[in-house]
Amino acid sequence: MSRLQLEYFNNNEGIVSQKGAALTYRLYHELIQIEAWGKDSLRVRITQADKIRDDLPGALLSHEETGFKPATDAISITETGGSIRNGNIEARVTKKEGKLVFWDLKNNRELVREAQPHIWINGRVIRPLTGDSYKIEANFQAYDDEKFYGLGQHHHGKLNQKGCVIDLCQRNAHVTIPFLVSSRGYGFLWNNPAVGRVELGMGLTRWVADVAPQMDYWITAGDSVSDIMSNYVDATGHAPPLPYYASGFWQCRLRYKSQEEVLTVAREYKKRGLPLDIIVIDYFHWSHHGDWKFDSKFFPDPKAMVDELKEMNVEVMVSIWPTLQPDSENFEEMERRGLLLRNSRGPNVHHRFYDNPTLVEAKYITHYDATNPEGREFIWSKVKKNYHDLGIKIWWLDADEPEVEPVQPEMLRFHIGDGAAVYNISPMLHGMGFYKGMKEAGHEDGDIISLSRSGWAGSQRWGQAIWSGDITSTFETLAGQVRAGLNMGLSGIPWWTTDIGGFVEGNIYDETFRELIVRWFQYGAFCPLFRLHGFRDPMPEPQMGAANEVWVYGDEAYKILSNFLHIRERLRPYVMKQMDKAAKDGTPPMRPLFYDFESDAKSWDIEDEFLFGPSILVAPILKYKARSREVYLPAGAKWTNAWTDEVVDGGQTITVDAPLETLPLFLRDDAKLPIKA
């Protein structure tokens, strides 16, 4: 061994010490700080600056917010390193090189350890950029049998994401929530809103932040997935109770052009005796991007419209885009006050999109800066005056990634930092502004909800539901939605919905699409939120799709869709019970089989079935013209076919008939639920 090699190996011992309730380690310019942070959980922060920063944006609640009090006697320092324990989890750091391993104390086993990508490189790679910014990598050991779930919503069509590379960057239909659940009994939050990626490889698990001041992650241990989810929502915030009106049916299309059209559709639902709880007014009901008010030409008396709908027990959700264009009455003031999202160079232009009056001429638009508290207060003040005070209380927060073209976050400058460093948190802060505005307007939890196209870790705390974004109308997409929705639930988002039928490429007269809408509707009736939406063909005029009500798809489809509308209506007490549990302990209403049947190894491999609450097993039909499918019934329960009342023992795969009128549904053990009228 050379002299230089000997010097390296003999001089790489750091200083292990205790600072209050934190275990610290310093070697050269690197500082590690590990703290207890909630039940069975630890927070790890690492920097090459002179100290750990507490003022950076993230998802974790403070100890003051949660009431958690870390112990000061849980730290041990020896000649070879140090450790810090919190409940059932312990972190151990070696004095030599500062290697980290996390241990499950209750079961006396390794959860995960740092991995060295090279003999001369430790598990943490922190590369200086400019100022106090770094490119950061955290490398962990890969385990052959490990499975990964969560991480938001992505369209790779997989439930277990082992082997995937996931971009950590908000995009339309791709929602970045950097929290995963491991089959090894831990949850991991990358508490960093920077653009980056996570590589769930066979050789390493690697988390990357392209630009960040410091590394920050949180790890929790649990005997069950339920324990992990409970710890996660304790640390990042619980969802409030779901409003009752949100548990029913949402009617939506792109788009209802006028006040009279909205009322005509609602009246028809009531005339037919069909359940309807929310009707949605999509974009271009406004005069210009950024006016945030109804166009009086098409909505001459919105207050009267809202009043009539409320008499029918129908609430209104209205589309709110975070965008402005120079013709808006609010553009000049927001620009002058510095409330617009900036670019690092050039004018504040982020997108080209259509606007009134022609809807055929694309105009340059910009986003307001949702990370600026003054910006959030400004947009809420306009929304309150022009919508809320008319009686509207549900907000459709579209295009809030924010949607920029091209997607180059490093070109943006937010109020709280450079785009590459903070981009992913913007939709969560946007939703927070509406939640706080509703609170200030006198609404309580249980009467607040927004529907957002994007979100981040902790979005559930602000009453944000998230939907699938702009997706295609194919059976392949429907199959991917099943996996995407389950992973969203395991990302801490209990309120999730899909565009039933997909968003684009669905012709209402096409027989293949009519079968797709039936199968998607059947699936949608057992999603947390039940919402029909789409940009249907043939288009009657620019930026307006064909009709999308349940009666436009032919008599055969109408009979089936009507039946599932009534099934969902009968199940609403059961749905609300699941939503209350989600608010209490983070249990997703829609979840994979293994959530309730962890000891059944086969249940971990099932990706195209799910549980809706503890008592309903749903096996959606995901192929065109399929009239039967195989269904795995988990061991440890008896299962009753909801249509035939046949009782089947669990632990086996059976073939189940699935005529177009039904999808395979099974009730667990002695559950009695009103599937049949």
Helix axis angle, 225-236 to 572-585, nearest 10°: 70
Element (H, E) at 595: helix 593-596
Q: Is 593 helix (H, G, I), strand (E, B) or coil?
A: helix
Query: Buried b / exposed e across 309-331, counting CB within 10 Å, b at 16+?
Result: beeeebbbbbbbbbbbbeebebb
Residues 6+ apart with CB under 8 A from 296: 287
Q: Which two tokens stand for residue 491?
A: 């990302």
* Max intra-chain CA distance, the chain: 89
- The C-alpha atoms of residue 629 and residue 519 are separated, in whole angstroms, by 13
The residue to which tokens 């620009």 are assigned: 335
Residues 6+ apart with CB under 8 A from 287: 293, 295, 296, 356
Q: Find the helix or strand (DSSP H, E) in which 385 lies.
A: helix 373-386
Peptide bond into 357 cis (omega under 30): yes
Place of tokens 């199940």: 571
Tokens 């000649």, residue located:
79
Q: What is the DSSP string of 128-178?
A: E-STT-EEEEEEEE--TT--EEEEEE-SS--SS-TT-EEEES-BTTBEEEE
- 439 neighbors 448 (Cβ within 8 angstroms): yes
Query: What is the rounded distance in angstroms from the CA atom of residue 513 to the CA atom of residue 535?
Result: 13
Pairwise CA distance, residues 460 & 495, whole Å: 8
**CB of 140 closer than 8 Å to CB of 202:** no
Question: Which two three-digit tokens encode residue 664?
Answer: 């395979």
Calpha distance 594→605 (Å, rounded): 9
DSSP character for 77?
A: E
Give catalytic residues, as residue numbers: 398, 401, 470
What would you report as the CA-atom Rg of the chain, rounded to the nearest whole angstrom? 26
DSSP H or E run through 376: helix 373-386
What is the per-residue DSSP string for 384-424? HHHTGGGT--EEEETTTTT--SS--GGGEEETTEEHHHHGG
Pairing of strands 464-467, 496-497: parallel
Q: Distance between CA 344 and CA 398 in Å, rounded?
A: 24
Contact 488, 152 (CB under 8 A): yes
* Residue 677, CB-side half-sphere exposure with 13 Å CA sphere: 5
Please give the torsion angle defined by the CA atoms of residues 179, 25, 38 and 589, in that order, rounded to the nearest 10 degrees.
10
Find the helix or strand (DSSP H, E) in which 520 lies: helix 511-524
Compute the distance between CA of residue 140 and CA of residue 138 in angstroms, rounded to an integer: 7
